Structure 1
């Protein structure tokens, strides 16, 4: 086992947040090394450019780690949910849809609102400048002025052109007197920062063009130019700490040669996602876990959906993946029978005839036999999808643990996830389904299919893709893992900058908030590097 030089900052994980931290710190002149167990995903690797792309999206290009067989992956055992992640440079931005809404101010103060979730130690106003910074780096498209949200700067690129789906749904929301707004997207509607505008190809599952902000194409070139050393195919086995309680670096294996190396560092940042980070900390002799909160409070969001078909062709198979967002029900109203709220993500249809015939994201399927062609002719190009995404309550028993037997190819224990929606979540999901039915009827759908994601035994599951909350931020080291600067309470030179730190899930896709928090933490490290790397064991809450 070789010993490397002592770098200033070691980052574990080259996904969205790892890339942003690397960019900020390398630009400040710090010696930054990033270890990524996966490799680069080249444009030609994406399924978009292949005739069998629909099949690839369900198999080797499935975002669900348990539905594909990649050498870069590690096993995850789950009893309930899809495990959507991607190991590689850019992380899950290689396969995401880049819907880009922000948290609301109330999402940071749920403890004050109803007490069933914690208050964050920071506010929306603390994060807002970093939302703006992330948006500029990504090239977010959208329209400022949504009265359901705090004021914001103009989006770097204009909103995506209104699609036929957006027009039909907008009219339905208006009929119901419900709020709606053009969705903010991590995709550029016009040429931006050397990347081409979205061409509306309609197969949003990552983007080989870089129009959707794939961080390997939008952020990593800048981070590398600033001086970051990126080592791919480098699987971290363990983060080590010294007798003084400070992190000393990481033991990793070069997956090309099979050799082990130890990279020493003055400060360590873990950016391995809401499952990968607790897995690594637990495998590192229970690192940063005096609170017993590492791995607990796994949040996925509640999620239900409707697939509807309307008489007019809406060409839902082309265009950016999402059209509108509605925050009509985003805030708590206890008269509904639950706390917290949800939003509607209004999405396009599938571009694949085969996916439509076999059920796109609900259980609806084209009939076989003499009715097949007439059904298909009436449904293809006429479909609209809407997801309702809700803020699930944390439960310490919803968690990530280590499997006692199963290992990855390098001997690290596999992650095991357990998640079950609570009673409040179930009541919300039922209410969400009723509102989706209202929306389908208001849109004039001649047919619609609801999906409540209950299994054959009637047990609620959730396919929501988000993996957050497992190393949450807080003001008290007794019930959180990191402080308001993403700094581990137990290990003063260890920072966590991925979705595991989110104390609440909000009602929206988390990547914008995760990115903003990573920029905020990286700026704090940059501005306080000398004091953070001195031999002190104290971590301040303030």
Structure 2
């Protein structure tokens, strides 16, 4: 490159011809000269080195395109059941919900680059790659409509448990769960066969895994004002709902698309640390046990073809209904299998406040009044809401209207006694499409349960009065109504853990009594049910079970 000071009469076109440089190239190097025919007297003209003086470079070849040898047909790598029959798994996980996902994630931490073989089967199909609240086309009404469309209303066939729903899909009900993640009250844990200190240790881990935070409501005048009213009027323990939400922003190319947590997040974590096999539309129908040791699972595909998958260790994470169903159908013996079914008694109410009582920024409402030793229930409040829409969350594209009156949704969850008389059993007459007997449910509230329900209703009146929020009737319902059993979606206890095989199904680490290598990691393992939402506790217990499994492998 050199600089030439043009003489009178020089033009860019003339310089191009003199130095045998293409005119377009000169124009590129001299953007301050727009007209190639203008007189450039006194102008500085930048002249690139002629081709003969330029640095010799390698010739430019033609690029070829070739697709990757292994193509990916979905948003997560899948393995066929045919391929899985050729592998002897160290661990095979049945079910991909909160418990199954937590076990897989923790094993991936233990066994990174170890060569251990881990597989997971899911009875359902691919549905969503994340929690439904993270989908930009969802809002509150569409969320509800979609969940009721894709979930299976199990309760239609269970007159004693009419509100129950199940979701057979990768991620299970964590694709739609309500995102409240409190710890169970210490008074409840003290009755469990796990030291409180150890349970708190695993709660710490689970909260980090799920990114549990109380910052979701930060800066909300609605939240701060109503919390202050509750604190000053008899509810000093009212606090922010612990919410599993990723509040980090995208930085340096790291994408935080899973704002609200689901089991899909645990699968993604494991996928990037350890290879594992995953089959969908793979229904476990029978467990194989030889000499009191689990050795494999019979699985059926959606076209009813049978496969046998071999494994040293099997973890059942189906659900409170599906796990005992599989154990019973497989002939696993145990007096407590299917018994001690529990859930939460569930009161629903709506309160109303005037928008003018709250300064900007109005924000989000998510308040939590926890269980205590004297109050065997918890209360949750969410909002704000209008006639047809609630704004605890909403997509960025939705315009949030100005409302004169704000509705607050209130839920109260009461402890239900863990009783042998509440149980699930196989139906001798009805079978599903895979030949597995369907379930019958025997469930009722005890006198103690009903006393708690009455006390909850009284407290809802007191809490609404403390907040200066009047209870109102909506959709033809009473201001406070008792939801049908099962509609809390918090069922638990049918494979409870304990030290006594007469009253429990598993030991304190989730291993089925007297059967080596067979574990349970879902809500069904709870020995009793406090008032807290169960998902955080399920994740904590499942991580603990995974640690136990990893230790067992170290000693073999």
Residue 467 of structure 2: aligned partner: 443
TM-score norm. by structure 2 comes to: 0.74
Residue 361 of structure 1: aligned partner: none
Deviations 1:4-43 (A, max 9, x none): 4321111100111111211222441321111111122235
How far did 1:85 drift? 3.3
State the structure with more CA Rg.
2
- Whether the 8 Å CA contact 1:300–1:467 is kept in 2: the answer is yes
Q: 1:25 aligns with which of 97, 107, 119?
A: 107
Residue 369 of structure 1: aligned partner: none
Report the Cα distance in structure 1 between the residues aligned to 2:186 and 2:138, rounded to whole angstroms. 44
- 1:269 matched to 2:328? The reply is no
- 1:125 matched to 2:173? The reply is no
How far did 1:311 drift? 1.6
- 1:403 matched to 2:427? The reply is yes
- 1:233 matched to 2:263? The reply is no
Report the Cα distance in structure 2 between the residues aligned to 1:248 and 1:34, rounded to whole angstroms. 15
- Whether the 8 Å CA contact 2:122–2:279 is kept in 1: the answer is yes
Report the Cα distance in structure 2 between the residues aligned to 1:211 and 1:481, rounded to whole angstroms. 36
Residue 213 of structure 1: aligned partner: 261
Deviations 1:390-416 (A, max 9, x none): 221112121122222332222222222
How far did 1:99 drift? 0.5
- 1:306 matched to 2:349? The reply is yes
Query: Residues 514-525 of structure 1 correspond to what in structure 2 (within 5 A)?
Result: 514-525=538-549
Report the Cα distance in structure 1 between the residues aligned to 2:407 and 2:465, rounded to whole angstroms. 14
Residue 372 of structure 1: aligned partner: none
Per the alignment, do residues 47 and 477 of structure 1 end up closer, same or farther by CA in structure 2, a change over 3 Å counting? closer
How far did 1:453 drift? 4.1
How far did 1:381 drift? 5.2
Q: 2:232 aligns with which of 166, 170, 175?
A: 175
Q: Helix, strand or coil for the counterpart of 2:354?
A: coil
Report the Cα distance in structure 2 between the residues aligned to 1:383 and 1:168, rounded to whole angstroms. 15
Residue 529 of structure 2: aligned partner: 505
Report the Cα distance in structure 2 between the residues aligned to 1:78 and 1:101, rounded to whole angstroms. 30
Deviations 1:200-225 (A, max 9, x none): xxxxxxxxx52111221x21112223
Query: Residues 298-447 of structure 1 correspond to what in structure 2 (within 5 A)?
Result: 298-312=341-355, 323-327=366-370, 330-333=371-374, 341-350=376-385, 353-354=387-388, 382-447=406-471
Report the Cα distance in structure 2 between the residues aligned to 1:515 and 1:250, rounded to whole angstroms. 24
Report the Cα distance in structure 2 between the residues aligned to 1:49 and 1:258, rounded to whole angstroms. 33
Residue 189 of structure 1: aligned partner: 247
Per the alignment, do residues 512 and 293 of structure 1 end up closer, same or farther by CA in structure 2, a change over 3 Å counting? same
- Whether the 8 Å CA contact 1:224–1:230 is kept in 2: the answer is no
Where does structure 2 lack aligned partners over 5 or more consecutive residues? 1-80, 391-400
- Whether the 8 Å CA contact 2:505–2:512 is kept in 1: the answer is yes
Where does structure 1 lack aligned partners over 5 or more consecutive residues? 68-72, 110-118, 143-157, 198-208, 334-339, 357-376, 534-542
How far did 1:354 drift? 3.9
Per the alignment, do residues 80 and 510 of structure 1 end up closer, same or farther by CA in structure 2, a change over 3 Å counting? same
Report the Cα distance in structure 2 between the residues aligned to 1:498 and 1:439, rounded to whole angstroms. 33
TM-score norm. by structure 1 comes to: 0.75
Aligned residues between the structures: 452
Q: Helix, strand or coil for the counterpart of 2:169?
A: coil
Aligned-pair RMSD on alpha carbons?
3.2
- Whether the 8 Å CA contact 1:63–1:95 is kept in 2: the answer is no
- 1:106 matched to 2:200? The reply is no
- Whether the 8 Å CA contact 1:323–1:348 is kept in 2: the answer is yes
Deviations 1:417-462 (A, max 9, x none): 232211111111111111111111222224434665458xxxx756
Per the alignment, do residues 52 and 326 of structure 1 end up closer, same or farther by CA in structure 2, a change over 3 Å counting? closer
- 1:470 matched to 2:505? The reply is no
Per the alignment, do residues 48 and 267 of structure 1 end up closer, same or farther by CA in structure 2, a change over 3 Å counting? closer
Report the Cα distance in structure 2 between the residues aligned to 1:418 and 1:196, rounded to whole angstroms. 47
Q: 1:245 aligns with which of 292, 308, 314?
A: 292
Between 1:442-451 and 1:270-279, the stretch displaced more is 442-451
